[in-house]
Amino acid sequence: MGQSVHRIVAHEARKITHPVIDGVAKFWLTVPAKNFPSGISTAVNARDPVGLNRRVYRDVKESLLGLSSAELGTFDLMNKGITILAEEVRLISKARGEYEIVIDDEEGGIVDGAHTARIIADANASGSIPPEQHVEVYIRTNIFGRMITDIARGLNTSLQVAPKSIYNIDGVFDWLKDAVSSETYSDQFSWKESDVAEYDVRDLIGVLELINIFDFDNDEPKHPISAYEKSSLVLDRFAADHEASRDDLSKSKYYRLRNLLVDVLKLWDHIRHDFPEIHNGSGGSAGKLNIVEKAPVKKGVFEFPFAPLPSSAYRLTKGAAFPILGAFRNYVAIDEKTGDAVWRGGFKRVLKVWQDLGPELVAETYRATKDIGRNPELLGKNRQHWVGLHKTVRLTVLQDQLKALQKSSKTK
């Protein structure tokens, strides 16, 4: 986005140098709300200025416009104000209280108070702000790197910010974004709290956790049930892994799974799409299963963008799909040369196994609904169900390995 310059006329202003960090300065401006400029970047704000219909923001608007019971001219006393990270603050005219703010639109701008700024901008567009109303504007200069994230986290505490919004600012998801950037579905993921999309960054991290052979060795009894049961835990684990390997991503467990991400998303689509058809083909009625969801009337059909596959009115729920998908961790191995994860026999082999083994995995899942319960939540959290599906796929892997050994011995 580059750099932008915004002009502010303040009623009064103060500048304070930081007592500890050289070069950092703090400016405090009391600004007539009608003089606050619109269009300042909100790239570093944990919350985009959306959702203005919330009661708290309607109250802010009423207060600004003088429609509340509060005394006119007290808006600045009741509102937290707006905090801006800027490269420079220039004094244009001391007599007029006129300043220019220079902002890096990618790493600066409004870090707190974006909703207040948006409410002011909308009211200014209609010329409805009383001249008595002022807003406090706090400007910080020479803020770089991790300080941006820390400030965003520290200031956004009145309404709890979703952790993914903080992680997004901190660059935790950057390589994930790169991994799907060339895919047709790259715009279907939400990376921060205010994004509206079909899928969430936690879905990406969840499917990576399902094939996380570094923490869930196929020969060990542990299974990544938390990928479904508690996505927030996996999100925090992903962030911690990123922090530990920030200077060398090759040490990151999740980064070493990156080459399988697009493939495992395809497999997820196949499982969710094919399950109802396989169940119906065996004489069942998938539409009557609680673990199969029907598309809302307004939506009409479900799309399967990762594979891609034809749209369908039905798909397998996440709670039922994740244990099946997790069982294919059996086909993940570690390349001894690169240290990265790879598919045993390639991804075409994995898809072929799903096609061949699908009816058995579907039948096993259907039986589990009889034994455990019909609620997909129960399947997604039941350890024995995960273990059973994993063993079924494990047997196929061992058969593949046996055939490979027999073939190798014959050629010698």
Containing 8, the helix (H) or strand (E) segment is strand 3-9
Q: In this predicted structure, what is the pLDDT of residue 377?
A: 84
Q: At what angle do helices 318-327 and 347-371 cross, to 10 degrees?
A: 130
| φ, ψ at 404 (rounded to 5°) | -65, -40
pTM exceeds 0.85, yes or no: no
Beta strands in 113-265 (DSSP E): 134-141, 189-190, 199-200
Q: What angle do CA 182, 187, 191 make, to 5 degrees?
A: 110
Name every residue whose Cβ is closer than 8 Å to that of residue 159 and which is 6 or more positions away in sequence.
47, 56
Containing 269, the helix (H) or strand (E) segment is helix 261-281
- Structure tokens, 393: 């796929």
pLDDT in tens, 12-58: 999 999 988 888 999 999 999 999 999 999 888 766 665 555 556 67
CA distances from 394 to 120, 216, 370, 390, 399 (A): 60, 14, 24, 6, 9
pLDDT profile of the chain (412 residues), mean per 10: 89 92 92 94 72 64 79 89 93 94 90 90 89 95 79 60 69 92 94 80 94 94 92 89 91 97 98 97 91 88 96 95 97 96 96 96 95 87 95 92 74 62
Instruction: Tell me: cis bond preceding 310? Omega within 30 of 0 counts.
Output: no
Burial class of residue 265 (count of CB atoms within 10 Å of its CB; 0-12, 13-18, 19+)? buried
Q: In this predicted structure, what is the pLDDT of residue 160?
A: 47
Q: In this predicted structure, what is the pLDDT of residue 412?
A: 59
Spatial separation of the C-alpha atoms in residues 239 and 249, rounded to whole Å: 12
DSSP three-state, residue 381: helix
DSSP three-state, residue 104: strand
DSSP three-state, residue 222: coil
Q: In this predicted structure, what is the pLDDT of residue 48?
A: 63
Q: In this predicted structure, what is the pLDDT of residue 2?
A: 82
Any idea what DSSP says for residue 101? E
Look-up: residue for tokens 């974006």?
114
**CB atoms near residue 269 (< 10 Å):** 21
